[in-house]
Amino acid sequence: MAGLFERTRDGGTAIALDEVEADILRSLEVQMLELIGPGPGGDAHEDPLAALFAEGPTEAPADPALARLFPDAYGEPGEAADQQTKAAAGEFRRYTELDLRARKREDALFVVRALDGLGGQGGVLRPEGEERTRWLGALNDLRLTIGARLEVTEEDEQGLYDLPDGDERKPLVMAYLWLGAMQESLLEAMAG
């Protein structure tokens, strides 16, 4: 089936994307790169040693989508944390968020480059080994971001299938559901 991963006869994975699917996925990944931002090292004149020891922020992002991509390591989501929990979460974030952002950027960029390899047309991609993990990460990040924008909860998810065609959220919901199916198909293809 086009737009979903399948297991190949030789035990690998493949996904056939038509031109529209490839364009949509590429556009979503480019938007993800813009959301995450360039990060340290984006300036060619920056000292590489200083970039290596750069510290990240200590506060959670204000944007709900970024907060979903970079959640606090301590405390419960949506609940007010005490000062000690906030301090621990801030300290953890300071030393980990830049690396996490870099990995998410690398995953999204990997998918963009794979799609660019199709030359603006549809085609078949055959991610193997570590490449599949990059695809999973990039698809998961997109799905989390869109879910945050749609304010999806586990209770709401079934209702997404019943949205009327005129609902302005419908295109985003369709992308959210497709990404979930794509992610699931990749996991199934990897499991064999």
pLDDT, averaged across the chain: 89
pLDDT in the model for residue 135: 98
**120-141 pLDDT, tens per residue?**
889 999 999 999 999 999 999 9
Dihedral over Cα of 151, 26, 107, 109: its sign: negative
Range name among 80-84, 115-119, 128-132, 143-147 with the lowest pLDDT average: 80-84
Q: Which residue has the higher pLDDT, 79 or 104?
A: 104
Q: Which residue has 């064999």 as its token pair?
A: 192
Task: Report pTM.
Answer: 0.88
Q: Are 98 and 56 a contacting pair, CB within 8 Å? A: yes
CA distance 188 to 151: 27
- Tell me which residue of 1, 29, 26, 25 sits closest to 14, measured CA to CA: 1
Per-residue pLDDT tens over the stretch 40-63 = 555 555 666 666 667 888 888 999
Confidence of residue 21 (pLDDT cuts 50, 70, 90): very high
**pLDDT tens digits for 149-191?**
999 887 777 788 888 889 999 999 999 999 999 999 999 999 9
Mean pLDDT value of segment 18-25: 96
- Domain boundaries of the chain, sorted by first residue: 5-191
Two structure tokens written together for 81:
């944390």
